[in-house]
Amino acid sequence: MCARQIINVLQSNDINYMKIFLNNQLVNSEDAKVSVFDHGLLYGDGIFEGIRLYDGCIFKLEEHLIRLEQSAKAIMLEIPMDRSALREAVCKTCRANNLKDGYIRLLVTRGVGNLGLSIKNCHQPQIIIIADKIQLYPSEYYEKGLKIITVPTRRNNSAALPPTIKSLNYLNNILAKIEAQNLGYQEAIMLNDQGFVAECTGDNIFLLKEGTLYTPRIAAGSLKGITRQVVLDIADALNIPVQEEDITRYDTWVADELFLTGTAAEIVPIVEVDARSIGEGTPGTVTAQFLKAFKKKVSKDGVML
């Protein structure tokens, strides 16, 4: 979960000089304010995308904007800018902050309304774009792999809140993240209400077994991740068969290789799940192939500033 995975808060050399895009204009960060009556704040009523900028190229920007539009349609939210204008606003915000590499957070809230759940009085959705530096997992996690656990908090049932809607309400994921961190882990697997693997708190999950790549079905409670799709495309290019199906905890324990994907996390090798070593307990060679192929894509497949 875009968000795929940020260890610390976004940070810049001096946050006071950061420019934020807020409703058709760039403002200094200290002047970027929304009302306490905005339903995005009151009820988590809104949508967002987390997007990466690599060497002046906004990776998969079009795909992110399409997903934003689909999330908006799903929650019946009218975005007050068309895709072309949003595309330019994202680029403009990056340029204003002199960024060549970083992370972009694009949000659309329901806007100001009355207290209460009704959206009838919310007439002006708010568009917010933040472009800043990003701190990823420490490099040692990519070199030596990450250890994770399965936590008790279950992923929201897709019939209650479809995981394909990238909404501002992330409490389900946050609770799982808290459980993991309280036990000394940075990431955790979340199961769905049937006990199958859905995703991690902020990332999609893949496992390799006997030459086939497996990942949970979207219907199992997984976000339809942009990086997830990139990995599927890479698998096709590498002639590695892929199965999207129900995955159990047992399947993760006995996998030959396992890795996570997300906009912020990129591709992170997993070397232990629930105290069980994955493969030889070191990042796998096929995972390394995916990461290498991903690195080649990031500066080519996107929109240049």
CA 286 and chain centroid, separation: 23
Question: Does residue 120 share a domain with residue 39?
Answer: yes
Domain coverage including residue 201: 139-299
Is 80 exceeded by the pLDDT of residue 237? Answer: yes
pLDDT at 8: 41
Q: Single out the residue of 89, 75, 73, 86 nearest to residue 19, CA to CA.
A: 89
Q: How many domains is the chain built from?
A: 2
Is 60 exceeded by the pLDDT of residue 10? Answer: no
Whole-angstrom distance between the N-terminal and C-terminal Cα of the chain?
25
The CATH code of the domain that includes 253 is 3.20.10.10
Q: What is the CA radius of gyration of the chain?
A: 19
Residue 149 domain flag: yes
3-state secondary structure of 242: strand
Dihedrals phi, psi of 163, to nearest 5 degrees: -65, -15
pTM of the model: 0.91
3-state secondary structure of 87: helix
Provide the mean pLDDT of the chain.
92
The CATH code of the domain that includes 66 is 3.30.470.10
Question: Does residue 291 share a domain with residue 149?
Answer: yes
Burial class (CB in 10 A: 0-12, 13-18, 19+), 126: buried
Question: Does residue 257 share a domain with residue 208?
Answer: yes
Pairing mode, if any, of strands 146-150 and 188-191? parallel
Residue 1 domain flag: no
- Find the range with the poorest average confidence among 134-138, 150-154, 171-175, 222-226: 134-138
Residue 6 domain flag: no
Q: Mean pLDDT over residues 205-219, rounded?
A: 97
Q: Which of 98, 132, 166 is the last residue of a domain?
A: 132
Residue 10 contacts residue 133 (beta carbons within 8 Å): yes
Question: Does residue 282 share a domain with residue 177?
Answer: yes
239-272 pLDDT, tens digit per residue, is 999 999 999 999 999 999 999 999 999 999 999 9
Question: Does residue 178 share a domain with residue 92?
Answer: no
Question: Does residue 272 share a domain with residue 156?
Answer: yes
pLDDT at 158: 87
Question: Does residue 244 share a domain with residue 181?
Answer: yes
Contacts of residue 226, defined as CB under 8 A and 6 or more positions apart, other chains included, come to: 2, 60, 63, 64, 67, 263
Is 50 exceeded by the pLDDT of residue 304? Answer: yes
Instruction: State the catalytic residue, choosing from 19, 60, 147, 166.
Output: 166
Is 80 exceeded by the pLDDT of residue 6? Answer: no
Q: Which of 132, 153, 182 is the last residue of a domain?
A: 132
Question: Does residue 158 share a domain with residue 92?
Answer: no
Question: Does residue 294 share a domain with residue 153?
Answer: yes
Distance between CA 155 and CA 193 in Å, rounded? Answer: 7
Share of the chain above pLDDT 90, in %: 86
Distance between CA 189 and CA 150 in Å, rounded? Answer: 5
Is 50 exceeded by the pLDDT of residue 176? Answer: yes
Burial annotation 246-270 (CB, 10 A radius, 16+ → b, else e): ebeeebbbebbbbbbbbbbbbbbbb
- Tell me, yes or no, if 166 is annotated catalytic: yes
Is 70 exceeded by the pLDDT of residue 9? Answer: no
Q: How many CB atoms lie within 10 A of CB 105?
A: 20
Distance between CA 158 and CA 74 in Å, rounded? Answer: 13
16 falls in which pLDDT band (50, 70, 90)?
low
Q: How far is CA 104 from CA 20, 37, 99, 100, 107, in A?
A: 11, 25, 10, 11, 10
Residue 7 domain flag: no
Question: Does residue 157 share a domain with residue 91?
Answer: no
Is 70 exceeded by the pLDDT of residue 12? Answer: no
Question: Does residue 291 share a domain with residue 154?
Answer: yes
Q: Which of 77, 100, 132 is the last residue of a domain?
A: 132
Residue 177 domain flag: yes
Residue 4 domain flag: no
